[in-house]
Amino acid sequence: NKAEGFSFHPADLSSYETTEKVLKNVDVVYHVAGAVLEQVRMNPFMASGTNVEITRNVVEASYKNGVKKILFASTFYVYDGIDPNMTVNEATPLSTIGMELFGATKVFGETLLKEYSKKYGMKYVILRFGSAYGPGGQGSNVIKAFLDSAKAGKAIDVWGPGNRRNQYTYVKDLAKGSVLSLSRENEIYNLISPEETTIKELTETISKKVPTKVQFDLGKKEGASMPYMSSRKAIKELGWTTISVDEGIDLILSHDHGEKLLAAEAA
């Protein structure tokens, strides 16, 4: 289905010539292309190179074409390796020591944008997205994985006691924050829900909505928590708001139910 006023141009952004051609007569670029966390973990050489190459091409082609502003999808993983008992914000110094490679590719992108801003006056906004979830979620998304297990009548399996914390952020809230930030220049925003949820709390919320058994495997080590990531700047400057994980899961279940009805009608 084509949205009104929208045109789709499939392109290989790892090719600089193609990227420069696609970005002709463009005012603003939202750069969200690249390999995701799971792809970088599975194939570090290929996926990390893809992220660096695509970002380099998009930034250079934007500069050559006179693009007015780039909004860059970064990640909360730039805070990886920082003491989980700390609170961090956009001004917190970053270090790639102990950081996931995926996060390091995003630090590269942020640094490149700042360099082009200094050298050429290019305007940018860096958006550090929280752990995204929502209808149609894919990959290693834990909310999707738990919901899929529950809906299939299978137990939810948890490594460790379920104390790991995360700030799950609904995908439409990320989209809303991306639009709100369009009017800003040379800023960084944490688009990360202020609500912290442990894995155990997440399983409790899901099992209340889709009754299922939860199994904790204490013989397996759970992942480390991230530091608390403040979104105060986005809330104050952009008027950004977020929904709770409880509300977000309800929206996913409602969407999935609607998809089932449509599929049944089409059958």
Please state, in angstroms and as integers, the Cα–Cα distance from residue 201 to each residue in 69, 151, 187, 198, following that order. 40, 18, 34, 5
Report which residue type is found at 217.
D
User: In whole angstroms, what is the distance from residue 72 CA to residue 10 CA?
Assistant: 19
Cβ–Cβ under 8 Å, residues 199 and 164: yes
5: left (phi > 0), else alpha (psi -120 to 50), else beta? left
pLDDT at position 261 is: 58
Domains recognised in the chain with CATH numbers? 10-129 (3.40.50.720)
Cβ–Cβ under 8 Å, residues 247 and 189: no
User: In whole angstroms, what is the distance from residue 36 CA to residue 79 CA?
Assistant: 16
Cβ–Cβ under 8 Å, residues 191 and 130: yes
pLDDT at position 262 is: 58
What string of pLDDT tens digits covers the 267 residues of the chain? 456 778 888 999 999 999 999 999 999 999 999 999 999 999 999 999 999 999 999 999 999 999 999 999 999 999 999 999 999 999 999 998 889 999 999 999 999 999 999 999 999 999 999 999 999 877 668 999 999 999 999 999 999 999 999 999 999 999 999 999 999 999 999 999 999 999 999 999 999 999 999 999 999 999 889 999 999 999 999 999 999 999 999 999 999 877 665 566 666
Tally of residues, the chain: 267
pLDDT at position 256 is: 80
Percent of the chain with pLDDT over 90: 88
Beta strands in 130-191 (DSSP E): 131-133, 156-159, 165-166, 168-170, 187-191
Residue 167 dihedral angles phi and psi, to the nearest 5°: -115, 80
pLDDT at position 5 is: 74
DSSP 148-164: HHHHTTPPEEEETTS--
Token pair 């969407």: residue: 255
**Per-residue pLDDT reduced to its tens digit, 179-211:** 999 999 999 999 999 999 999 999 999 999 999
Cβ–Cβ under 8 Å, residues 35 and 51: yes
Mean per-residue pLDDT of the chain? 94
- Closest by Cα among 109, 129, 123 to 193: 129
pLDDT at position 98 is: 87
Angle at CA 6, nearest 5°, toward 2 and 8?
80
User: In whole angstroms, what is the distance from residue 238 CA to residue 173 CA?
Assistant: 12
